[in-house]
Amino acid sequence: MAKKTVVSTVSIEEKLQNLFELQTIDSQIDNIERLKGELPMEVRELEDEIVGLDTRISKLQSELKEMELKLAKHNAAIHEAEALIVKYEKQQENVKNNREFDALTREIELQRLDIQLANKRIREGQVNLSNKAATLEAAAKKKDAKTKELDKKEDELKKIIAKTEKDEKNLQKKMEKSRKKTEDRMLKAYDRIRNAYKNRLAIVTVERDSCGGCYNYIPPQIQLELTSRKKIISCEHCGRILVDRELAGLQPEIELEKEVAEFGEPEEFL
């Protein structure tokens, strides 16, 4: 990327005007973002939550199938044991001695024990299966609720985007144009200050002898220097760049005070 060439003949006043123009545009973009509010973040969080629920539901479904297979195996083992008992009982009718009869009796007892154990495993498995099915149902209901909530949030966000998209694109173009005519050093300072504060204000006016960013007192000498526009002055408390009201396109405070005395407080201070 070619390095931006900055004309050295740009006056301090022009630099301040460029910065204030950039701040005004950025503040308008910020207002659009505030209009969207927490919706973009809420949409992303809901999307992530639904993905997590999908994973959980898939895992629960796999576990249910595995549990059903185990129950089927236990039932198959019971049927096999019952068949063996019938077989051994028939064989007992044709034994030649007590030793063979006793051996078959032990086999029958073992198969009955296997049936008891399998029935126990089936009862336990059915309880676990029921609990797992309830958990799956709850997860599915939660996913449905989150999906409906997501649809609603996405619809709200789409409406806001549709309403503000044109303005946002125009402001983005203006912002890019404004940044191009502002020298790199000033842009870096502007971005650093702007990113340091929640209200995103890097360029502020003096309002009633106070910094428009942190509301700390600005001495008369500093205010006088501001009106001369011979150097860039920052608030000694918060570091924001100060501009006089006239440069910002606002009414000078002396005239404003006269109007207040005659007509009452203006809306910007109410």
Cα separations (Å) of 8 from 11, 33, 175, 181, 182?
8, 35, 22, 12, 11
> Which amino acid is residue 103, in one-letter code?
A
89 shares its domain with 200: no
Domain edge (last residue) among 157, 179, 201: 179
Q: Are residues 133 and 189 in the same domain?
A: no
Instruction: Say what the pTM is.
Output: 0.56
Strand duo 233-234 + 241-243: pairing? antiparallel
pLDDT given at position 34: 84
- pLDDT, tens digit, for every residue of 53-107? 999 999 999 999 999 999 999 999 999 999 999 999 999 999 889 999 999 999 9
Residue 220 is predicted with a pLDDT of: 94
Give pLDDT < 70 ranges for the chain.
1-8, 251-270
Q: Check residue 8 and give its pLDDT.
A: 53
Could you tell me the CA-to-CA distances from 77 to 88, 115, 202, 236 in Å, in that order?
16, 8, 78, 85
Indicate the residue among 179, 195, 229 that finishes a domain: 179
Residue 3 lies in a domain: no
**Do both 24 and 52 map to the same domain?**
no
CA angle, 256 as apex, 251 and 259 as ends, to 5°?
Answer: 130
Compute the distance between CA of residue 118 and CA of residue 153 in angstroms, rounded to an integer: 51
60: tokens are 């629960």
114 and 191 together in one domain: no
Structurally, how many domains does the chain consist of? Answer: 2
